[in-house]
Amino acid sequence: MRTRRRGAKCRYTWNWITWTICAILSSVSGSASPPDSLKLVWLSNTTLTCNDGSPTGYYFRRGSNTEHWVVYLEGGGYCWDTASCRARWRRRPALMSSTRWPRVRRAPALLSAERTANPLWHASNHVLLPYCSSDMWSGTRTATHAVGGFSFTGRLIVEGVLEDLLRAGLSGRLMFVGSSAGGTGVMLHVDAARRALRSKRIKVAAVSDSGWFLDRPARDRRVPAAAIARLGHSLWRGTPPNSCVRKHVKEPWLCYFGYRLYPHIRTPLFVFQYLFDSAQLAAEGVRAPRTRTQWEMVHKTGVALRTSLDSVRTVYAPACLAHGALARPEWLAINVSGISLPRALACWERRLGRAKKTHVRGGCAPRRLVEICSWPQCNGSCPRLRDPRTGEEVALATLLQSFGMDVHGAAAAMGIDAGAFSRMSHAELFPLLAPHV
């Protein structure tokens, strides 16, 4: 496994004296890395790059359980044509280039080596793939003369990383995980990865976190999701799985949507999906719902997401207005029907024969845990909802009122003063409402 030479991140300094000082400082800082950190490794195939042509790679830490590997694909949206890619470059260049990648990165939740932060996989070998290809991890366009001079090699990057990991000792069991665009990328890649690693007797499974997007109509004259996927598929030279493409020969870009792709996935897959996914709502034109009409749209999206998950064998779907969970500390607190997300994952892995029985306390969880209530944030473990204008937490009573609930009537039915009802915290109010949802 090749690592970058010491001091290489100082290559843009103006003379050799400045470069030497920078290299020394980098060496000193690198020797004092935080214990829960991942180290940057550059990809051995140097022809594969980020959008801007800068080198790509991954962050790695070897764990004590040498036979268990967690490979995490980051998310971060995508671009699909000249205008959107140039806008992305102006606003979020860190998602298109590696020029400012640090030599070490603090591990996100499911890649932490701390048992308290990561009770499931703290001892595993951890690999984080930073997202810099803007193509849902599906592109094969290496020519830099493409739109704006950008290349899109997400699919090839994943393949290159797996090849490097094999040389680094990849063996035993591989857990392929991704969030948002990375969650979609996991679904696009997992069968191919399983086939590629079969001869090495490496078992593969996958977890898709918030990558289950729907091609629902947009409002306010927005470009429909399916049209964006069609443009992106062409720009990236995307390569969805052949089994799905054969089903949608004339519209292969439909294979970027979870409910259309899922029937063609043969590898064990755990789907985590918030029922009121904020990224899905943003794509439909609802970013900060305030009016009753907007909340009705939120409700309809929730119904559509719940329905689309009907055929999924293993799914965990809280009724939250949020996006992405596994890289955030709150993943430990999320629960559906009293069953936490870590426990549900541990049960699923145990059923696959890939986890010790001692990992699961209190018995195993059902395969399907989908929230039954039909309004957002009805789950008391949801991440707090905040007003985007002020940053302050939105009171549950205010949320319910915006959603069309008669707060005064509800307060009277429970024998509570309406003013006191409105001032109650989520923790106080939810137990009172729970029997009625």
Q: How many CB atoms lie within 10 A of CB 187?
A: 30
Secondary structure in 3-state letters for the chain: CCCCCCCHHHCCCCCHHHHHHHHHHHHHHHHCCCCCEEEEEECCCCCCECCCCCECEEEEECCCCCCEEEEEECCCCCCCCHHHHHHHHHHCHHHCCCCCCCCEEECCHHHCCCCCCCCCCCCCEEEEECCCCCCCCCCCECCCCCHHHCCECHHHHHHHHHHHHHHCCCCCEEEEEEECHHHHHHHHHHHHHHHHHHHHCCEEEEEEECCCCCCCCCCCCCCCHHHHHHHHHHHHCCCCCHHHHHHCCCCHHHHHCHHHHHHHCCCCEEEECCCEEHHHHHHCCCCCCCCHHHHHHHHHHHHHHHHHCCCCCCEEECCCEECCCCCCHHHHCCEECCEEHHHHHHHHHHHCCCCCHHHCCCCCCCCEEECCCCCCCCCCCCCCCECCCCCCECCHHHHHHHCCCCHHHHHHHCCCCHHHHHHCCHHHHHHHHHHHC
For strands 57-61 and 276-277, give the pairing: unpaired
In degrees to the nearest 10, what's the CA dihedral of 409, 414, 420, 425? -110
Q: Which residues pair with 174 in a beta bridge?
A: 69, 204
Would you say 342 and 413 are in contact if contact means Cβ atoms under 8 Å apart?
no
**What's the CA gap between 97 and 148, in Å, rounded?**
14
Per the listing, tokens 């070490």 go with 104
Q: Of 88, 195, 174, which is closest to residue 135 (Cα–Cα)?
A: 88
Task: Tell me which amino acid residue 82 is.
Answer: T
Which residues are catalytic, by number? 180, 277, 323
Would you say 178 and 277 are in contact if contact means Cβ atoms under 8 Å apart?
no
